A and B are shown apart, each in its own frame.
Chain A
Amino acid sequence: MSTSKRTATGIVDPNSIPVLAAENVRKNYWLGKRAIPVLRGIDLRVYQGEMVALLGASGAGKSTLMHVLGLLDTPTDGQVLYDGKPAHSLSINQRAALRHRHTGFVFQFYHLIPELTALQNVVLARMMQISTLHYWRERRAVRAEAVLILTQFGLGERLSHRPSELSGGERQRVAIARALIAKPRIVLADEPTGNLDSHTADGVMELLFEINQTQQLAFLLVTHNEEIAARCHRMIRLKDGLVVG
C-alpha cells in the first residue's frame, strides 16, 4: 500500500461553517424499559473537502452515529447540523431529500439492487431526486453522466452487468458511483472496505482519496485500519459512546 501521508493543515478554515456537525448527540436503545445509551453526547464537525476517519471498537456506536448523522435514525437528544442548519427538525420529506442531496452513503454491504444493472443502479440514484417528466427530458444526459462516472471508476466494460456478476470491489465502486451521481456535499462511508480483501480494499480506498482530492468532497470514513486513518486529515475515536482523544 502506498502510504503518502497527507498533511491536513491549510484545508480547514476555522471560521467557515461545517458541512456536517453534531452537537451533543445522544442515542439510547430501549431494552424493555431500560435505556441502553449507545451515544452519550457526541460533538463533531466535518468541513468541506475534509477526509475524517472515525475509529472505534466494534459495538462502539459508529454505525449508529452514521445513521443519526445521515438522518436515517433520530437522536434521543442533541442536534445534527447540515451547513449550520438543524436537520432533524425538518419534515419527513425534506429530510428524505436531504439524505441524498446533502449526504451520500457507502455501506459495507454495497446494497445494490440485484435486479438492476450497474448502470441502472447508478441512474436510479439520480431518478430518486427528480420527477418522471424531468427525468424523461434529461434521460440522455443522466445516462451519459452515469456512464462517465462508472468509466472513470474502471467499470466501462461492466455497465450492463448485474451485481451478482460483479466482484466485491466492482460492486463497491458501483455503490460509490451511485452516491456521487447525486452530487452530495459529504459522503458517509461505513467500513466501505470491510468486506473486501486487502488488495481490492486498497484500490477502493485509493479511489475515495482521489475523489476527496479532486472534488473537494468531505468524507466521514469508518475504518479499523490505522494506516488508512493516518492518511486522513483527521481522526475521531469513539469509545463507550463518547469521542475520545
Chain B
Amino acid sequence: MYRPFLSLRWLVTRPINLLGVGGVTLGVFAMIVVVSIFSGFLKTVSEHIRSASADIAVQALPSTAQFPALQRALAEDPNVAAAAPRLVHFGMLHEKDHRPPPPPLLGRGSLQGGDTPFLIVLGIDPAREFLTTRLREWLEDVPPDLRVNNLDAPLEQKNGHDAILLGAERMRNEGLKPGDLVVLTSGKLQRSNDGLSNPDPIDHEFVISGAFHTRHIGYDGNNTLVDIAVLQQMLKLPITSVHEIIIKVRDPKTTEDTADRLTRAVRRTLQIEDLEERRGPVARSWRYRNRFFLQSIEWQRELMKIILIVIMVVAAVLMFATLSMMVTEKTSDIGILTAMGGTPRGVMSVFLGCGMAITSIGIALGTLAGCLGSIYLENFRQLVLLWTGLDLFPVKVYNLDRVPYDLDPIWIMQVACTAAIVGIVVSALPAYRAARHDPLVSLRGT
C-alpha cells in the first residue's frame, strides 16, 4: 500500500514535479493541435480542389483528336456519367485600348492570380459542362453584382460580342463588372510552307458576362472560361477538335480504376498500339492531377511532426531531470523504507509511480487541451482579431472561412501512447537508480 501513497505524497509535496507535468502537457497539446489543424487544412483544401476539378480528365490528346468518336468510346464505360470537351489555350487579358499589365514581380505568387496577366483560356461547352463539373455552383457562388444574367446560358453572345467568364477575385481586384469589354491577346504557331514556325498573333474582344468562384486557390485567378466554339474559331480549328475531355463518374470510389480503363479505351480509339506507353493520351483522376499540391501539404504536416518531436524530447528531458533530482534527494529515505520491509522492487515502483502519475496527468491534460484547442482555435483567432487587430491565421488567403481542424482519434492515440512509452522509459532510469541504491549508505548516517 505504501507505494501509491508515497508516490502521491512525494508528487504533491514537490511543486517542481509540475514542470514535468507541464512539459508532457505541452508536448501532447502541441502534437495534437498542430497536426489536427494541418489535417483540417488538407481536408478542406482537397475539398476545394475537388469542387474545382472534374473527376477524370483525358489529357495529352493528339491534335487530330475528334470529340464525337472519343465521346462514343468513353460513354461505353459503365462508370462514365457524362463527358465534356475542352480546348486549353493561353492568353493575356487587358482592357480595350490599354496595354496588357506588366508581368508580375518576381516572387509574387499566383495564389489568387490577380496580379499576373497570363491566363489559361479554357474553351468549354456550357451545356455539357453543367453535367460534368460544378459549373453551376461556381456561377452561383459569387456576389450578386458579379453574377451572370442567364445561369443556363452563361456564355451567350451579348451585343454581338462573345462572352467570357473571369474569376470573381480577379474581377474585384481589377475593378471589372459584367458588361465590361476586355481584349484577349493570344497567339498561335503557324507552320509555313518552308517548314518554319512563325507566331501568329490573335486579338479577340470579349464582353464579361459574369464571374465564377470554385474556391480552389490558384484556379480562379489563373483560368478564364470562353465558349469552345469561339476558341475553335480564333484558333482556326475544326468544330470537333478537342484538347482535353473531362468526365464525371458514377461511382467516385473506383475513379482511379476507371481512369486506367479510359486511358486504354482512348488509346484504342485513337489506334495507338502501345497501351502502356508513358507518353500519349492519358486519363487522370482529380487526385492524381493535383497530387503535388496535396502531397506538399501532407509533407508539411509530416515535417511538422518531426519538429514537434523536439518538444517531446524537451518534455522528456524535463521529466528526467526532475525525477533524477527527486531520486537524489530521496536516497536518504530509501534506507528507512528498506528497514520497514521495502524491497528494491518496491522502492523502484514508488519512483516509477511518481513518473507514471506525472505522465498520465500530462497526457490527460494535454489531450484535453489539444482537442479543445483545435476546436476553439477559431474563436481564439476572432478574439485576438477583435482585441488587437492581429490576424493569427490569414484564412482568407486559402479560401477558408475559419481555422480548419480534423481530430484524428488514431493520431491522438499514437501521441498518447508515445508519450506514455517515453514517460515509462524516462521514469524507469531514475527509478532503477533508486532501486540499486545501497540502503545501508543512508542508514549509517554521517
Contact = CB atoms under 8 A, between A and B. Distances in A.
A73 B340 contact: no
Contact of B1 (A92, A109, A135): A135
A96 B445 CA distance: 21
B384 interface: no
Given A72-B338, A73-B440, A127 B10 contact: no
Interface in A97-116: 97-101, 105, 107-109, 111-116
A130 interface: yes
Contacts of B127: none
Interface string A108-140: 110111111000100011011111101100000
A99 B339 contact: yes
B354 to A, nearest CB: 12
A118 to B, nearest CB: 14
Given A127-B1, A135-B1, A93 B13 contact: no
Given A63-B444, A111-B443, A116-B9, A105 B339 contact: yes
A56 interface: no
Contacts of A115: 9-10, 13-14
Nearest to B329: A114
Given A67-B443, A73-B440, A97-B341, A111 B336 contact: yes
B5 interface: yes
Interface in B1-38: 1-2, 4-6, 9-10, 13-14
A30 to B, nearest CB: 14
Q: How large is the interface on A (under 10, 10 to 19, 20 to 34, 35 or more residues)?
A: 35 or more
A70 interface: yes
Contacts of A93: 343
A70 B339 contact: yes
Nearest to B2: A127
A114 B439 CA distance: 17
B333 A113 contact: yes
Nearest to A178: B340
Nearest to B445: A109
Contacts of B14: 115
B333 A111 contact: yes
Interface residues of B, number: 28
Contacts of B442: 111
A147 interface: no
Nearest to B337: A128
A113 B1 contact: no
A52 interface: no
B342 interface: yes
A96 B443 contact: no
Contact of A96 (B4, B336, B343): B343
Contacts of A129: 341
A132 B4 contact: yes
Given A72-B443, A92-B343, A93-B343, A127 B338 contact: no
Contacts of B439: 72
A182 interface: yes
A96 B6 CA distance: 18
A107 B341 contact: no
A130 B446 CA distance: 32
A98 B338 CA distance: 11
Contacts, number: 79
Contacts of A111: 332-333, 335-336, 339, 442-443
A131 B1 contact: yes
Interface in B315-335: 332-333, 335
A120 B335 contact: no
A75 to B, nearest CB: 14
Contacts of A107: 336, 339, 443, 445
Contacts of A101: 341
Nearest to A194: B445
A100 B341 contact: yes
A113 B14 CA distance: 13
Contacts of B440: 67, 72-73
A228 to B, nearest CB: 20
A130 B330 CA distance: 23
Nearest to A70: B339
A134 B341 contact: no
Interface in B324-373: 332-333, 335-343, 346
A228 B336 CA distance: 26
Contacts of A134: 1
Contacts of B333: 111, 113-114
B341 A72 contact: no
Contacts of A98: 341
B250 to A, nearest CB: 63
A98 B444 CA distance: 21
Interface in A134-158: 134-135
Contacts of B340: 99-100, 105, 124-125, 128, 178, 182
Contacts of A73: 440
Nearest to A110: B336
B16 to A, nearest CB: 13
A120 B338 contact: no
A108 B343 contact: no
B9 A128 contact: no
A111 B336 CA distance: 6
A128 B336 CA distance: 11
Interface of A: 63, 67, 70, 72-73, 92-93, 96-101, 105, 107-109, 111-116, 120, 124-125, 127-132, 134-135, 178, 182
9 contacts: A70-B339, A92-B343, A93-B343, A96-B343, A100-B339, A111-B335, A124-B6, A128-B337, A131-B1
Q: Which 8 A-B pairs have the closest CB atoms?
A: A100-B341, A111-B336, A135-B1, A127-B1, A115-B13, A127-B2, A132-B1, A109-B445
Given A99-B339, A107-B336, A127-B2, 19 more contacts: A63-B444, A67-B440, A72-B440, A92-B343, A96-B343, A96-B346, A99-B338, A100-B340, A105-B340, A108-B445, A111-B333, A115-B13, A116-B9, A124-B340, A125-B340, A127-B5, A132-B4, A134-B1, A135-B1
